[in-house]
Structure 1
């Protein structure tokens, strides 16, 4: 039986001509050893996808705005979380609330999640050259409007009347279609890996330490009313989530961890980002060895090959897709279901009340 208070997981996915985010194009960082731009999805984005995969109610967030009457502007201020662990996204995702005249509370997420990035700099990256995309409504011209304004320095000038616009178009032999171009967009392709550590010590416990509080007094009272029991973990006194609530959350969390998907890119392109393999262990080094990219020495040009090393001390869950990208790999159609069951087993076996 696994007696470690941590579960370590590494997942390998295949990304095919996709986009992780649409804000200012594909996110990337630069690998100095191989001189390549590396597409990535942030750990925060992966965690958000997992939280959405729970299919449980989200806590209501308060979005604060401040109106400047003099400048006639609305400025967004810090959003406020209810800091209420009775909601699964707050319990698992963590929270923080601080500000002037507000008691500061903070809970660290028990899920530590890396960015999803190429398995090796030579096994995934950003497509080249860039592409141009369009926002096109030319097939339904009559349903849309085109507004044109005269140039007025740095500010927008007066709008042209219909007559002025028609005269300008005719005299300059121009057309203004219902189409907008978005230039120099990029996509990601290749084998991508992400890592996760689950801290079982804090997964279902919330500290009652008053010096670095995780709870407001009224929320602490609410938890006690809802059956949370006094306990003690490695960090001190805490309240422990009731067993029946844990039994509801654990299967949902296991399913979300294995089957999460990035949904923020779907308006631009769809890619299932299918899972090639999952490795689970109580040793972080072992999961890093288990799925890796190895440099090849038998070629004039630097190349790398993906490796699933079954000699590592870990549990392997390999899908049939692995045979498409890794020489000699074989998989099973029920691999991800078995991975879910392994996570459920590990999270259920931990002795939360006795710590």
Structure 2
């Protein structure tokens, strides 16, 4: 069995916003000359980890944030200290880094076995970003909407002074606008590569350490198995524990949702189709887009191809956006089952 599993998910996004900082994030596509909205791979990873914790009803690992006071008595950001403990599932799957200030302790690093792409349009012409102006006032209920106008000295102005100030203008004091709110819409894909060699295995190499020596002994005491993978000696999570978490991992990778504190303007972001393979190129062919020439302006046509080599699972809503004959109500459940079978089949102890 090959040591990698690749997954591509196709979702429909309707008038939503991903992880706002200054409106909807976007990048410039230089090939087609359009702004393309996206959700970062880090956000997708965070959502997968949150979904996994919710499914298993477990808490994520604690994190310590260090703040330093500088010579000017001002607070500055210091280290972020992780437990570096693979017994916490979010650490095992999400990776960690612990680097102490001044190099007094050895840096511990573990790379996540998940490589996750940004969620972006299936094709630059199949996703878009637009703006709208919204309000947050109570102008429909004047008794609940109070307005205070301060003069240059910071003192509240009287109604007569305000009326004089507004003479000759068309300014309204009751409508409070939030201009140019950006929204994303379209067909979006995300890709995930799973490295089975390190999915449940943690290196014990002390030349490039992932674990402290004390943590290695603790894991051995708790039943972790000493073995070898392509990277050298490692500890592997016991089989009984793996079999408990694998179904939740499969579900989280397919049915994660944008976390509520990272998105506004609710959209179902329903999953339309999933492709799974041990060959990344097959994913690109299974869920893709094709340029079609329609006069002066090219268009992109979304395509689901079940003969491109990957296992493809098409949900019912997909038929509303792409011509397909194989959509089914249990498509996502079958995709989860496929992932579970592949994750269970790998021989983690004898790589």
| 2:133 aligned counterpart, secondary structure | strand
Alpha carbons of structure 1 residues 188 and 4: separation in structure 2 relative to 1, 3 Å:
same
Alignment partner of 1:13 is 2:14: no
Q: How does 1:134-145 map to 2 (within 5 A)?
A: 134-137=135-138
| Residue in structure 2 matching 1:184, options 158, 180, 188 | 180
| 2:205 match | 209
| 2:26 match | 28
Structure 2 unpaired stretches of 5+: none
| Residue in structure 2 matching 1:39, options 37, 40, 43 | 37
What's the offset of the Cα at 1:150?
5.5
| Residue in structure 1 matching 2:69, options 64, 67, 72 | 67
Q: Is the 8 A contact 2:304 2:324 kept in 1?
A: no
What's the offset of the Cα at 1:79?
1.9
| 1:172 match | 165
Could you tell me how far apart the structure 1 residues matched to 2:258 and 2:12 are? 13
Alpha carbons of structure 1 residues 136 and 225: separation in structure 2 relative to 1, 3 Å:
farther
| 1:124 match | 127
| 1:249 match | 245
Structure 1 unpaired stretches of 5+: 152-157
Alpha carbons of structure 1 residues 90 and 320: separation in structure 2 relative to 1, 3 Å:
same
Q: Is the 8 A contact 2:68 2:75 kept in 1?
A: yes
| 1:331 match | 327
What's the offset of the Cα at 1:133?
2.4
| 2:193 match | 197
Question: Which string of whole-angstrom CA distances, capped at 9 and with x for unpartnered residues, describes residues 231-251 of structure 1?
Answer: 111110001011121112111
Could you tell me how far apart the structure 1 residues matched to 2:150 and 2:215 are? 55
| 1:154 match | none
Alpha carbons of structure 1 residues 266 and 203: separation in structure 2 relative to 1, 3 Å:
closer
What's the offset of the Cα at 1:183?
1.9
Question: Which string of whole-angstrom CA distances, capped at 9 and with x for unpartnered residues, describes residues 297-340 of structure 1?
Answer: 35442011001111111111101112111123430000001111
Q: Is the 8 A contact 1:147 1:159 kept in 2?
A: no
| 2:112 match | 109
Alpha carbons of structure 1 residues 147 and 244: separation in structure 2 relative to 1, 3 Å:
farther
Range 311-320 or range 43-52, more displaced:
311-320
Q: Is the 8 A contact 2:5 2:193 kept in 1?
A: yes
TM-score normalised by the chain length of structure 1: 0.89
Alignment partner of 1:88 is 2:86: no
Cα root mean square deviation, aligned = 2.3
| 2:315 match | 319
Aligned residues: 341
What's the offset of the Cα at 1:180?
4.5
What's the offset of the Cα at 1:271?
0.5
| Residue in structure 1 matching 2:281, options 278, 285, 290 | 285
